[in-house]
Amino acid sequence: MSEAVRVTRDAPLRTRNTFGVDARAPWLVEVADAARLPEALSAPPLRLGIALVLGGGSNLLFAGDPDGPVLALTGDRIAVIDDDGDRAIVRADAGVEWHRLVLWTLDRGLCGLENLALIPGTTGAAPIQNIGAYGVEVGETIHAVEVFEPSTGQVHRLGRDACRFGYRDSVFKHDADRYLVTAVEFALSRTPALRLDYAGLGDELAARGVATPDARDVADAVIAIRRRKLPDPAVLGNAGSFFKNPIVPAAQADALLAAHPALPVFRAGAAGRRKLSAAWMIDACGWKGHRDGDVGVAASHALVLVNHGRATGAQLLDLARRIADSVHARFGVAIEPEPRVIGAQW
């Protein structure tokens, strides 16, 4: 096989997951050009099947080793593929680091991704869990997702509707093995339509003395908030929010609110449903800043589990279960992990 496909046996994964836990892949196959996928998939070791598609490793927890070959798509091209002077379609390979893409678009005066600055991970992973922050979800800006379907060998372009985006959800999560995301197209605009509805964002801009922000100001404010609230995975291993905010029937949310008036309750995008703040409930159970050996909860944000050094994935999973159990015991609400757990059942 050519250099566009690189195979490593018994590959260490510690530097390839932002929790920084030890894990090993029996084979790691890196494919730089998606056009080589049919060839790579028909040869050993991928012919055995793919145990895991690895992006930036920022949304997974290795509670054990992957039990088969791991595939990483490493293509990193970004290009404007259509431009009418205002609206532009930007296409990025799956392997492009997400924050590099955000800065690339802002440098060219293209708006739409500014609220999503500094999210760790790759572009190919972004549509899978529909990454979101500070009032925006990536699905809103996605024009199409280019995928390879291993079972048929076909390439498809799925438009936004076909991706069925929801809160931290998409068609790619439900049909996890069907498609490999090879590239993503974004519909961006030179006319800013800034989204400042997230309360903390307006406060941050005001504190910076910015009265009429542009997209770059919004990205800078988001970066400042993230740096303050979320630990840098390069310094303290973590995978961002470990739990999704639970979505419950409105009547249950009303009852909880009556008992706990400070509980933040949000719209859930579906009639009769409400989204609750998992961070607030975890905080109320006393977990924020908790530390037990090398596993813990960030002192700056109750949703973020951290590895203080040599924590194992199994230890982190055990802590996560204890947190979820205590939230369930106190509030009667089940919270679920946001990252994918490898090598164990939740």
| Residue numbers annotated as active site | 168, 241, 338
Selected range binding ligand EPU among 43-51, 65-73, 151-159, 238-246, rule: CB under 6 A: 238-246
State which of positions 129-188 bind ligand EPU (CB under 6 A): 133-134
Residue 244 makes contact with ligand EPU by CB under 6 A: yes
- Please say which residue, 134 or 165, places its beta carbon nearer to ligand EPU: 134
- Please say which residue, 244 or 290, places its beta carbon nearer to ligand EPU: 244
Residue 245 makes contact with ligand EPU by CB under 6 A: yes
- Please say which residue, 104 or 198, places its beta carbon nearer to ligand EPU: 198
Q: Cα(128)–Cα(166) distance, rounded to whole angstroms?
A: 10
Q: Cα(266)–Cα(186) distance, rounded to whole angstroms?
A: 27
User: In this chain, which of 18, 241, 307, 312 binds ligand EPU, going by CB under 6 A?
Assistant: 241
Which amino acid is residue 319, in one-letter code?
A: L
| CB 30 within 8 Å of CB 70 | no
User: In this chain, which of 18, 277, 307, 312 binds ligand EPU, going by CB under 6 A?
Assistant: 277
Q: What is the largest CA-CA distance in the chain?
A: 63
H or E segment to which residue 101 belongs = helix 98-107
State the DSSP string of 173-242. HHTTTT-EEEEEEEEEESS------SHHHHHHHHHTT-SS--HHHHHHHHHHHHHHHS--TTTSEE-S-S
Q: Which residue is nearest to ligand EPU (CB)?
A: 240
Hey, which residues does 82 pair with through a beta bridge?
A: 89
Number of residues that bind ligand EPU (CB under 6 A): 19
Q: Cα(180)–Cα(191) distance, rounded to whole angstroms?
A: 33
- Please say which residue, 55 or 240, places its beta carbon nearer to ligand EPU: 240
Binding-site ranges for ligand EPU (CB under 6 A): 133-134, 198, 229-230, 240-241, 244-245, 264, 277, 279-280, 283, 288, 301-303, 338
